[in-house]
Amino acid sequence: MIAAPVSAPEIAIDVHGLSKSFDGREVVHDLSMQVKRGTIYGFLGPNGSGKTTTIRMLCGLLTPDSGEGRCLGYDIRRDADKIKRQVGYMTQRFSLYQDLSVRENLEFVARLYGMRDPQGAARDMISRLGLSGREQQLAGELSGGWKQRLALGACTLPNPQLLLLDEPTAGVDPKARRDFWNEIHALAAEGLTVLVSTHYMDEAERCHEIAYIAYGYLLAHGTVEEVIAKSALSTYTVTGDQLHTLQDQLAGKPGVDMVAPFGTSLHVSGRDKAALDATIAPWRDDKGLHWQHSEPSLEDVFIELMTRSKDNFQ
């Protein structure tokens, strides 16, 4: 075999310097990432930041303008055919056949991958998905949560080595979301590598590692703890009255990089702790406010990264 996987087998995705432009606008810029086998890798970022575009480059659906890399050891530019055989890709928008039933969709996938017993494989997957009783229903008539389950079932059916899930839980109710993540963890435990894009912060905490992308730039990556530590952000959690006024007063002041309400409290963060302390000093004595220095949340870090990158790149 000429095209046998050559890069370290522990690395499922290993790409460097990927860039992609549409109509002269660069939507992914010089992106590098490594994903270890058997891990759940979260891919976070606001809408339009290039998550889908990156995922499509990984599975050969888009050709990068520059950059290179390997997916499961196969060259992403030359071996797209081989990658497709080993990868399950769940698209952001439901892209199975709406006018085919649940069973017909699954059988179609099983046949395309040349599985020995397509009907049996579809039947097993239907019971695994808890879709028994709905197998004759047209995919287009399923509710959002069921569609998502079916799509996950379709992309895991051929037993791929890598799953690329593009915002699999967008618009799904919390219960279905939890079931979905349990399923993903079960799959990872079986040795599957999962790259999952999302913009839910709580989902980031369920990943082994995360990467944060905004406006096409990969701004941070690592475990959740590493990303928070690397941000070097000082954060105060403020509770009390008139937080709304306080937010307006602090916004844009020196040392205050970010101020955002979190439920009944307000998070005030800055990279320069001294400047931040100086700015907030007058309000710290306010009897109606309670200040507490705290670890920044992942969300603080991301919002800060995003506002900063927005200033830099836009």
Ligand X SMILES: Nc1ncnc2c1ncn2[C@@H]1O[C@H](COP(=O)(O)OP(=O)(O)O)[C@@H](O)[C@H]1O
What minimum distance in Å lies between the beta carbon of 64 and ligand X?
A: 13
Among residues 21, 92, 249, 279, the one that binds Mg ion under rule CB under 5 A: 92
Name the binder of 173 from other proteins, Mg ion, ligand X, none, CB < 5-8 A by kind: none
Among residues 18, 31, 41, 52, the one that binds Mg ion under rule CB under 5 A: 52
Instruction: Take residue 76 and report the two structure tokens written for it.
Output: 């992403």
Q: For residue 156, state whether it binds Mg ion (rule: CB under 5 A).
A: no
Name the binder of 182 from Mg ion, other proteins, ligand X, none, CB < 5-8 A by kind: none
> Under a CB-based contact definition with an 8 Å cutoff, are residues 191 and 40 in contact?
no
What span, in angstroms and rounded, lies between the C-alpha atoms of 99 and 89? 20
Among residues 41, 44, 45, 118, the one that binds ligand X under rule CB under 6 A: 45
Helix crossing, 102-112 with 144-156: angle to 10°?
Answer: 20
Per-position x/- string for 33-62, each x denoting binding to other proteins as judged by CB under 8 A, each - no binding: ----x------------------x--xxxx
What minimum distance in Å lies between the beta carbon of 204 and other proteins?
A: 25
The one segment of 44-52, 72-80, 117-125, 187-195 that binds Mg ion by CB under 5 A:
44-52
The one segment of 86-94, 239-247, 251-259, 271-279 that binds other proteins by CB under 8 A:
86-94
Nearer to ligand X, 122 or 196 (CB): 196
> Under a CB-based contact definition with an 8 Å cutoff, are residues 256 and 250 in contact?
yes
What span, in angstroms and rounded, lies between the C-alpha atoms of 248 and 201? 25
Q: For residue 54, state whether it binds Mg ion (rule: CB under 5 A).
A: no
Q: For residue 98, state whether it binds other proteins (rule: CB under 8 A).
A: yes
Q: For residue 104, state whether it binds other proteins (rule: CB under 8 A).
A: yes
Binding-site ranges for other proteins (CB under 8 A): 37, 56, 59-63, 80-81, 84-87, 89, 91, 93-100, 104, 107-109, 111-118, 120-121, 123-124, 127, 154, 158-161, 190-192
